[in-house]
Amino acid sequence: MHYAKKPPSSRSTHSVYSHVSTRSSNIQTQRSRSTRSLKSLKPKWYQKPIIKNSDWINVQRGAMWTAIFSLFIAFFTIATAIFDIYCLAMAAPGTTHYGYYFISYQFVYVGNVHVRNALIVFAMFSLLGGFVIVVTSTMLILALRKEHEHKFVPWLWTYAIFIGFRLLASLFFAIVNDLIFAYNVLIVLFWSAFCIGSIYGWLLVYSLYLELANLTKLEDLAYLRMGTMQSLHASTTHSLMGSRPITPHTTTASTLQMHSIIN
């Protein structure tokens, strides 16, 4: 008796080679992701630290001293701004004072009304900026202790704006006031030194921020590679356990016996 031969099933071929194609596509996808991540890790010119560690400079310690210095500048700004507003209010043109005063208001500007109002505005915004710098400097000190670079960003933005504003305010103060009085001369000298030191300190903190950000990217890449290797290992184990141990091209005694019975 002859039996009709059944056509070979295409399901077995698909089940065998589907794992290979799936694994190869997964590997190519993971390689492309790794290549893109490596390209993204290459820092650009503006992402490289400006100041680096050397025998004379410790960036991390300098950043901490900068945070403390900015906190001191904030308190100094608050004190001088309150004093300037008080002096400008007491020495307003047309006012009459009686009694004994511990200071003379001869150093206070009493000329043009618009210039005087501009000095008051500078003092008020300096007072507001001083309170902001107190908050951000405290955040920076805590972030430096724990090396959380993302918490550096508020201080970097606010302090850069604050120093730029104080530089303009000091320049305006030096132009309109008489520099024959000790208070005016000291304020101009102090803020000149403060601005120079603050710019250098800001560069230190920014360099440390870039360095820590690059280290964070490297750690993220390491975690990504570990996850990729684990996923590839899991997919390989699953494919080996799910595939058939005998391929269509394997010849064994049982298959030969089956062909002889059919024929």
Which pLDDT tens digit goes with each residue over 150-188?
Answer: 899 999 999 999 999 999 999 999 999 988 899 999 999
The C-alpha atoms of residue 204 and residue 60 are separated, in whole angstroms, by 8
Q: Is residue 26 part of a domain?
A: no
- Tens of pLDDT, residue by residue over 243-258, are 444 545 444 455 455 4
- The count of structural domains within the chain is 1
Pick 166 or 95 by higher pLDDT. 166
Q: Is residue 233 part of a domain?
A: no
Average pLDDT over all residues of the chain: 77
Which domain does 117 fall in, by range? 57-221
Q: Is residue 25 part of a domain?
A: no
Q: Is residue 125 part of a domain?
A: yes
Whether the full predicted model's pTM is greater than 0.85, yes or no, is no
Confidence grade of residue 13 (pLDDT, cut at 50, 70, 90): very low
Q: What is the mean pLDDT of residues 198-220?
A: 87
Q: Is residue 106 part of a domain?
A: yes
Pick 93 or 17 by higher pLDDT. 93
Q: Is residue 13 part of a domain?
A: no
Q: Is residue 226 part of a domain?
A: no
Q: Is the pLDDT of residue 19 over 50?
A: no
Pick 190 or 107 by higher pLDDT. 190
Confidence grade of residue 34 (pLDDT, cut at 50, 70, 90): low
